[in-house]
Amino acid sequence: MATLKKGIEQLGEGAISFIGYIGSIVIFMGEIIFWAAHPPFRIKQLIRHAEKIGASSLPIVTLISLFTGMVLALQSAYQMQKIQAEMYIASLVALSMIRELGPVLTALIVAGRCGASITAEIGTMKVTEQIDALETLAANPINYLVVPRFWAMLVSLLILTIYANFIGIVGGYIVGVYKLHIPHHMYVKMTFDPLTQSDMRNGLYKSIVFAVVICVIACYEGMNAREGAEGVGKATTASVVKSFVLIIACDCILTALMYFIGR
């Protein structure tokens, strides 16, 4: 009986903690959106962060997207060749990249690479009391530290997603044309024929949501890092794990809304 009571208490404490965390995240996101719409707009900081998030991520996004497109083509060819339907490989690769894999893989890369960096930077400022110094100087930390990263994340992830979609399709084209010997004109036609504006638009909507998730979680964990190097390390780990989970969860919800519930 005592063990059951203790288990119920722990479950209740966990539920209360989770609800409190969600509430804190929502309030924090509201503050970001409020300050993001108010000047001053620190363009130089935005450009600097966009370079760190976007330009520096191009090599790894290129490699992963290219090989993802190639693997998609190779895996689908194994089944398509059995039913003499190789021409549909191009459609499968294009739709998979633009609807799903392009936005999700790019978001996971950025969350692991840049989200962790943002949390570590802000967390270090927190434990060394630099954020307290900003408040002493009447500078709002969210406006000064978070908002430039927020805009940079939005812009960079959108551009990276479009780029990843293109590179993934190129990877499928390489396998389809040069390995499976699908005619060039046929592959190109079957790549673009099934695509609609809705597909491309929905993929970009996903990337916007993922950018908000990554930036909010990374900055929140950094702002709430505890004292010492160990606290910054724990905050960075928590940022990456929570971002990954929320990206996949949001992707599931958005896919259901866009392609099933909304129709």
Predicted TM-score (pTM) above 0.85: yes
pLDDT of residue 1: 66
Look at residue 262 and tell me whether its pLDDT is greater than 70: no
Q: What are phi and psi of 129, to 5 degrees?
A: 65, 20
Average pLDDT over residues 16-29: 87
Distances (CA, A) of 183 to 81, 174, 256: 15, 11, 35
CA 119 – CA 225 distance, rounded (Å) = 9
The mean predicted confidence, pLDDT, of the chain is: 89
Average pLDDT over residues 136-151: 87
CA 120 – CA 126 distance, rounded (Å) = 10
CA 63 – CA 79 distance, rounded (Å) = 25
pLDDT, tens digit (0-9, with 9 covering 90-100), for 39-91: 777 888 888 989 889 888 999 999 999 999 999 999 988 888 778 778 888 99
CA 186 – CA 37 distance, rounded (Å) = 47
Is the distance from CB of 153 to CB of 214 less than 8 angstroms? Answer: yes
Instruction: Give the CA radius of gyration of the chain.
Output: 22
CA 134 – CA 169 distance, rounded (Å) = 46
Question: In degrees, to the nearest 5, what angle opens at C-alpha 61 toward C-alphas 60 and 65?
Answer: 120
CA 210 – CA 160 distance, rounded (Å) = 12
Look at residue 209 and tell me whether its pLDDT is greater than 80: yes
pLDDT, tens digit (0-9, with 9 covering 90-100), for 83-114: 877 888 899 999 999 999 999 999 999 999 99
Site of tokens 């509201």:
30
Confidence of residue 246 (pLDDT cuts 50, 70, 90): very high
Can you read off the two tokens belonging to residue 165?
A: 């979609």
Is the distance from CB of 136 to CB of 238 less than 8 angstroms? Answer: no
